[in-house]
């Protein structure tokens, strides 16, 4: 069994998938739930299994990546974060923790 999210009847639903079917469940998979029906896996519109609230990334973390960007390999990894659906306001100022050397933002 695999935990899946699917688009079903104009709604996002959680389910448990096996080789051929998705058993729809009444709540999130880690809550108390009951089975609420079965959908053929071939007819299920699968979605990403989770909705991340943030994505922590490591950049320029190998020689090839640094070379393709025209940079030297850094002494420490470059850590950055993508936050889902969040853009800083136009006059936003970044703040660094004392142990951080820089905070950069990317704007569209």
Contact by Cβ (8 Å): 5, 12: yes
Check residue 91 and give its pLDDT. Answer: 52
Q: Which CATH superfamily is domain 2-47 in?
A: FAH (2.30.30.370)
Give residue-wise pLDDT tens across range 38-87. Answer: 999 999 999 877 777 777 888 777 788 788 878 888 888 888 887 765 55
**C-alpha of 8 from chain center:** 21
Give residue-wise pLDDT tens across range 6-44. Answer: 988 888 899 999 999 999 999 888 889 999 999 999 999
Query: Does this model's pTM top 0.75?
Result: no
Instruction: Provide the residue ranges of all domains of the chain, joining segments of one domain with +.
Output: 2-47, 52-108
Residue 90's nearest CA partner among 72, 66, 108, 69 is 108
Length of the chain: 108
């Amino acid at each position: 069994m695999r935990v899946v999210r699917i688009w079903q009847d104009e709604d996002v639903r959680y389910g448990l998938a096996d080789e051929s079917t998705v058993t729809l469940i009444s709540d999130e998979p880690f809550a108390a739930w009951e089975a609420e029906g079965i959908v053929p896996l071939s007819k299920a519109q699968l979605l990403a299994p989770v909705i991340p609230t943030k994505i922590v990334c490591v950049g320029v973390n190998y020689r090839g990546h640094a070379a393709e960007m025209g940079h030297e390999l850094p002494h420490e990894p470059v850590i950055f974060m993508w936050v889902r659906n969040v853009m800083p306001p136009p006059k936003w100022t970044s703040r660094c923790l004392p142990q951080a050397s820089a905070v950069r933002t990317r704007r569209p």
